[in-house]
Amino acid sequence: MAKDTPKEQKKEHATKEQQKAKSKEQHQKVQVTEARKGAVIPLPKGYKVRMSDLYLTKVRPALMKDFGLTSPMAAPKITKIVINIGVSEAKENIQALDLAKEDLTMITGQAPQVRRAKKSISNFKLREGMPIAVRVTLRGARMFEFFDRFVSLSVPRIRDFQGVDPRYFDGRGNLNIGLKEHHIFPEVNMEKSPKARGMNITFVTTAVDDKQGKALLEYMGMPFKKPEVKQAPKA
């Protein structure tokens, strides 16, 4: 069998290098297009969030006046929002977890973290390490964006909504809201995710007590349930 000449070897090496460069270029193009099509897109540079400006210009001065605070740093503020969706059927059907991840990504604009069981429970057919929920922690601009969309678009879509109960506060200024249906968010595709899933949303603040926490969220637009006014009996 005749050996390849140096010219043929050089030519073959050059074609291999060209193929590698071409495949690398195609891979980069695919990654760019996937990033553009996906739900997790970086915010534009210099983008101003409406709720953040509202807090700095109106909410913080009002809180300082109401509670007699001298320093702006002492005024309560929202530090993070934690959204959690439990997926109990994921232990039998892993596709349910993928659907929940996709829905939460669309709702928050951030990829969720899969939460796993910490211990085994035989009555629930649960083993340690099984995926049972998805969770997202929002901070900064994404946190204010979610709060704005939640108050403006999602809350009015809750069935028979009469206001957020102030008893949902935990005693340290943090608000926990449980929702029966995640379909209240307009980002969820009803055709892909027909089953309604419950979710828990926690608004974590720096307030020292529930009074400050309620005042903060109320100034930012959270619709709380108004106390019932008892009418005096007629004489």
Decide if 185 is inside a domain. yes
Of 40-49, 150-159, 176-185, where does mean pLDDT reach its minimum?
40-49
Decide if 42 is inside a domain. no
Better-predicted residue by pLDDT, 121 or 79: 79
Better-predicted residue by pLDDT, 42 or 144: 144
Number of domains in the chain: 1
- Which pLDDT score is estimated for 126? 66
* Inter-residue contact 104 to 187 (CB < 8 Å): no
- Which pLDDT score is estimated for 14? 58
The whole-angstrom separation of Cα 54 and Cα 218 is 12
Decide if 207 is inside a domain. yes
Q: How confident is the model at residue 145 (pLDDT cuts 50, 70, 90)?
A: very high
Better-predicted residue by pLDDT, 22 or 99: 99
CATH number at residue 137: 3.30.1440.10
Q: How confident is the model at residue 9 (pLDDT cuts 50, 70, 90)?
A: low
Of 32-46, 159-173, 176-190, where does mean pLDDT reach its minimum?
32-46
Residues 6+ apart with CB under 8 A from 97: 87, 90, 114, 131, 134
> Which residue range(s) make up the domain with 119?
76-219
- Which pLDDT score is estimated for 23? 55
User: Side chain identity at 86, as an amino acid letter?
Assistant: G
The whole-angstrom separation of Cα 112 and Cα 19 is 37
Q: How confident is the model at residue 12 (pLDDT cuts 50, 70, 90)?
A: low
Across 14-154, the runs of DSSP E, i.e. the strands, are 78-86, 113-116, 131-138
**Tens-place pLDDT, residues 98-141:** 888 888 999 998 889 887 777 777 666 667 777 778 999 999 88
Better-predicted residue by pLDDT, 129 or 197: 197
Decide if 47 is inside a domain. no
Q: How confident is the model at residue 27 (pLDDT cuts 50, 70, 90)?
A: very low
The whole-angstrom separation of Cα 40 and Cα 27 is 19
**Does residue 62 have a pLDDT over 90?**
yes
Decide if 139 is inside a domain. yes
The whole-angstrom separation of Cα 146 and Cα 93 is 29
**Does residue 24 have a pLDDT over 70?**
no
Work out the mean pLDDT of the chain and round it to a whole number.
80
Distance of CA 235 to the CA centre of its chain: 54
Other CB atoms within 10 A of residue 8 CB: 10
Decide if 38 is inside a domain. no
Residues 6+ apart with CB under 8 A from 107: 83, 146, 182, 185, 187, 188
Decide if 40 is inside a domain. no
Residues 6+ apart with CB under 8 A from 127: 91, 117, 120
Decide if 204 is inside a domain. yes
Q: How confident is the model at residue 33 (pLDDT cuts 50, 70, 90)?
A: very low
The whole-angstrom separation of Cα 179 and Cα 199 is 5
The whole-angstrom separation of Cα 202 and Cα 84 is 9
The whole-angstrom separation of Cα 231 and Cα 208 is 34
- Which pLDDT score is estimated for 119? 72
Of 53-57, 73-77, 152-156, 226-230, where does mean pLDDT reach its minimum?
226-230
Length of the chain: 235
